[in-house]
Amino acid sequence: MTAIHPPGPRRRRPPLPWVLPLLLLAGCDGPQSALRPGGSDALQLDRLFWVMLAGAVVLWLFINGLFFAATRLQHGPMSRKRAEALIIGGGIGLPLVVLTVLLGYGLSIMPDQRAPGDGLRLRVTGEEWWWRVEYWPPGATEPVVSANEVRLPVGQRTEIELAAADVIHSFWVPGLGGKTDMIPGRVNHMSLQPVEPGLYRGQCAEFCGLSHALMAFQAVALEETEFDAWLAQESQGIGDATQAPGYAIFEREGCGACHALRGTGARGQVGPDLTHVGGRESLAAGILPMTAEALADWIAHPEAFKPGAEMPAYDHMEEADLLTLATWLEGLE
């Protein structure tokens, strides 16, 4: 006689089907989320996403409903006439109507994605692996040069010229608008109009080499008066900062051969303009915080943070000199 054992505790299945969507939703917020729109272009793309999603859901439900009806609810053979009606109506008619509506809506918003600017013009050039940024206010004869950060006035549409110095890059700030490629030998155009002040993260969206994933930037949307004050300050040179010990170290180490400092003899164009580097939100194209410690580490070992970077390592410098230089650069706001 076989012994009968009581059943053991029932094993519960892991709630994977419910946990996975929650994990995916965790990526729908943050400064680089396309689902957190802060610009008029991003708002249009956000609406486009939800309209396209609704259309996809309608098609999915209807087509799968037809399969369910034909395989589970249909008992016995189906007449030829009814089968043809299901195929033509459900497989051709409804998808054609839904896709035509979605296509028409998508095409209708395309002109707004290339609307002209209101006067301010930016030129952004993709380098390996950083961003050269030039601001051209209306009537300006020379640009205000910055790097690795884009500042835009809220409520104004800014035209942006996009170029590349070496390989193909792509300019993308998901919270403000769509992406546009940057192609060597060609200038592409786009425009952005922030509607909410704040900090948005941008990224190169086209594989461009060894440190492509480390080629980011900050986009800062400012109220119009705040932006005007910032641009006026940004156009100035470094002034009395040349009297500080950090400037003497900057000159001694030959940093001006690659970097520019407005108001001084440093006019290098190989690397980013450092005139107001301390006022930027991040360092090294969005990968390090703007602190004296991070600056010192970057100057001493740039290859450790950005493989393939053309900047030479200054690990030969005394630690005290390195920190003096970094502290001085951090103060250039």
Domain definitions of the chain by residue range? 32-113, 115-224, 239-330
Within 8 A by CB and 6+ apart from 14, the residues are none
Indicate whether 21 pLDDT > 70.
Answer: no
Closest listed residue to residue 133, CA positions, set 220, 40, 198 = 220
Where helices occur in the chain by DSSP H, the ranges are 16-25, 40-68, 80-86, 94-108, 224-234, 245-252, 292-300, 302-305, 319-330
Interatomic CA distance for residues 116 and 177, integer angstroms: 14
Instruction: Provide the pairing of β-strand 121-127 with 158-164.
Output: parallel
Residue 202's SS3 state is strand
pLDDT of residue 67: 80
Q: What is the identity of the amino acid at 98?
A: V
- CA–centroid distance for 77 within its chain: 56
CB 278, CB 287: distance < 8 Å: no
Quick one: pLDDT at residue 20? 67
pLDDT tens-digit series, residues 100-111: 999 999 998 888
CATH number listed for the domain at residues 115-224: 2.60.40.420
The CATH code of the domain at 239-330 is 2.60.40.420
Domains 115-224 and 239-330 share a fold: yes
Task: Please name the amino acid found at residue 247.
Answer: Y
- How many whole angstroms separate alpha carbon 183 and alpha carbon 23? 36
pLDDT band with cut points at 50, 70 and 90 for residue 30: confident
Query: What mean pLDDT is predicted for residues 181-210?
Result: 96
CB 245 within 8 A of CB 300: no
Q: Rounded to a whole number, what is the largest CA-CA distance in the chain?
A: 101
Does pLDDT of 24 surpass 80?
Answer: no
pTM for this predicted structure: 0.83
Distance CA 45, CA 36 (A): 11
192 band by pLDDT with thresholds 50, 70 and 90: very high
> Which residues partner with 86 through β-bridges?
none
Angstrom distance (rounded) from CA 52 to CA 58? 10
Determine the 3-state secondary structure of 211 from DSSP.
Answer: coil
DSSP letter assigned to residue 107: H
Strand partners, 222: 153
Q: Which tokens in the block code for residue 175?
A: 């919270």
65: confidence class by pLDDT, cuts 50, 70, 90: confident
* Measured distance between the N- and C-terminal CA atoms of the chain, rounded to whole angstroms: 89
Q: Which distant-in-sequence residues (6+ apart) come within 8 Å of 76 by Cβ?
A: none
149 vs 281: CA distance, rounded Å: 8
pLDDT (tens digit per residue) in 265-292: 999 999 999 999 999 999 999 999 999 9
Q: Which pLDDT score is estimated for 271?
A: 95
pLDDT average, residue stretch 180-189: 96
The predicted pLDDT at position 164 comes to 97
Of 196, 203, 195, 152, nearest in space to 173 by CA: 203
Residue 10, beta-bridge partner list: none
From CA 120, how far away is CA 99, in angstroms rounded?
38
Q: Which of 163, 133, 136, 153 is nearest to 145 (CA)?
A: 133
Rounded CA-CA distance 282/169 in Å is 20
Which pLDDT score is estimated for 195?
96
Query: Is residue 222 helix, strand or coil?
Result: strand
Q: In CATH, what number does 32-113 get?
A: 1.10.287
Q: What is the pLDDT of residue 18?
A: 62
42: amino acid identity, one letter: A
Kind of pairing between the strands at 130-136 and 121-127: antiparallel
